[in-house]
Amino acid sequence: MNLKQLRYFYEIANEEQITRAAKKLHIAQPPLSQALKALETNLGVLLFERNGRQMELTDAGKVLYGKAKTIFHQIDETIIEVKETGKGIRGTLSIGCNKSCFSHIPEKINVYQKQFPQVKFHLIEGDSYLLTKQLLEREIELAIIRLPIEMNGFAFHELPPEEYVAVIHHQWIDPTDKACISIKELAKIPLLLLHRMRGVGQFEIIMEKFMEEGLEPAILCESPNVDMLLDLVNEGLGATIVPQSTLLKTNTSNVSVLKIKDAKIISESAIIWLKDRYLSKSAEQFIALFQD
C-alpha cells in the first residue's frame, strides 16, 4: 500500500461513491476502481460493501479510514507548519463560537486585523456540542464556547465568568416595581431556556436551581439559539435566563433585565483547541489576545 492508494481510498470513503471521488481527484473512474481493487487484493480484505453506486465501509474499511484520516490531517498540518516557517502571519483562521459568546469576538477581531491584516477569518456559529465535534473533525481551529464540556483532548483558556440574568416581558411584571426577581417568581412565568443539542449545559444547571427550591418551572420553549429566545420574549411569550453579555445589541424597550436575587447562576466560558493538533501562528496570536 502506498500513499496514493491510501488517498484514493480516503476520498472514496469521504464521497461514498466512485464517480464523485474520481471527479474530486481529477482522474477517470476506471483507474480509480482498479486502484481500489488492487488495494483490497494487497490487503486481502474488502474495504467497501457495494450497494449500487453507494460505497459503504466494511469493518476493515472503517479501521483503515480512521488511520488514513489521522495521517492526512498530520500531513496537512505539517504543510501548514513548513509554509509558516520564516513567513509572516497570513491565511484563513477558522473559529467557531456559541451565539451567546459572540460578544467576545468583534473587538478581538478588530484588534487582531490591525496587527495582522493578511489573515482572513472564517466564523461558524453552533452550540458547544457541535463546535467540539467540528474541532475534532478539524473543520475549525479554535472555538469559544460556554462550559461545561468534556475537556479530554482539548487545551483551553478560561474567559472571565459572567452572571446570568432574567429577561422578562413587561406584560408579566411591573417594569417600575423591581430591579431583581426571585427564583420562586420566575417559576410562575413561562420560561424559554437555552438548551444544548446534546450534553449537559446551563439548562441543567438552571433547572437544578429550581429543584433545590422544590419548584417546577413552566418551560414553554427550549432552543440552542439565544436570539430566537430573546425574540420570543420580546413578543411577550414569557421570560428567559441568559448571560448578560448576550443583551448588548438587543432591543430591551419591551423587557426588563433583572438579577436573580436568591439563585446566583454563573456562566463560565473558554476558548478551546485540540491538544494534539499543530496550532497555526495565526491561531496562537488570536489566543494571546484573550490572555493579556
Longest CA–CA separation in the chain, Å = 79
**CATH 3.40.50.300 describes domain 88-160+269-291:** no
Extract the runs of DSSP E, i.e. beta strands, from the chain.
48-51, 54-57, 91-97, 119-125, 142-146, 154-158, 162-169, 180-181, 191-194, 219-223, 239-243, 255-260, 266-267, 269-274
Q: What is the pLDDT of residue 179?
A: 83
Q: What is the pLDDT of residue 219?
A: 95
Q: Quick one: CA dihedral 49, 54, 55, 59, positive or negative?
A: negative
Q: What is the pLDDT of residue 249?
A: 65
In this prediction, what percent of the chain has a pLDDT beyond 70? 96
Nearest to 242 by CA among 96, 103, 131, 95: 103
* Residue 248 Rama label (left phi>0; alpha psi -120 to 50; beta): alpha
| pLDDT (tens digit per residue) in 162-216 | 999 999 999 998 877 778 899 999 999 999 999 887 777 788 889 999 999 999 9
Q: What is the pLDDT of residue 231?
A: 92
Q: Is the peptide bond before 31 cis (omega within 30 degrees of 0)?
A: no
The mean pLDDT value of the chain amounts to 89
**Which CATH superfamily, name and number, covers 162-266?**
Periplasmic binding protein-like II (3.40.190.10)
Cell numbers that stand for 91 in this block: 491565511
- CATH architecture label of 3-83: Orthogonal Bundle (1.10)
Q: Could you tell me which residues come within 8 angstroms of residue 103 by beta carbon, excluding any fewer than 6 positions away?
A: 245, 246, 248
* Rounded-to-integer distance, Cα 282 and Cα 182, Å: 45
Q: Does the fold of domain 162-266 match that of domain 88-160+269-291?
A: yes
Tell me how crowded residue 252 is: count the other CB atoms within 10 A of its CB. 11
Angle formed at CA 109 by CA 108 and CA 114, multiple of 5 degrees: 105
Of the listed ranges 68-82, 91-105, 135-149, 178-192, the one predicted with least confidence: 68-82
Q: What is the pLDDT of residue 87?
A: 60
Decide if 242 contacts 255 (C-beta within 8 A): no
| pLDDT (tens digit per residue) in 121-149 | 999 998 888 999 999 989 999 999 988 88
Q: Average of pLDDT values for 230-249? A: 89
Q: How many helices (H) and strands (E) does the chain have?
A: 10, 14
* Rounded-to-integer distance, Cα 88 and Cα 123, Å: 22
Put simply, whether the predicted model's pTM sits higher than 0.75 gets the answer no
* Rounded-to-integer distance, Cα 67 and Cα 52, Å: 26
DSSP-derived 3-state class of residue 239: strand
- For the chain, the domains span 3-83, 88-160+269-291, 162-266
Q: What is the pLDDT of residue 86?
A: 55
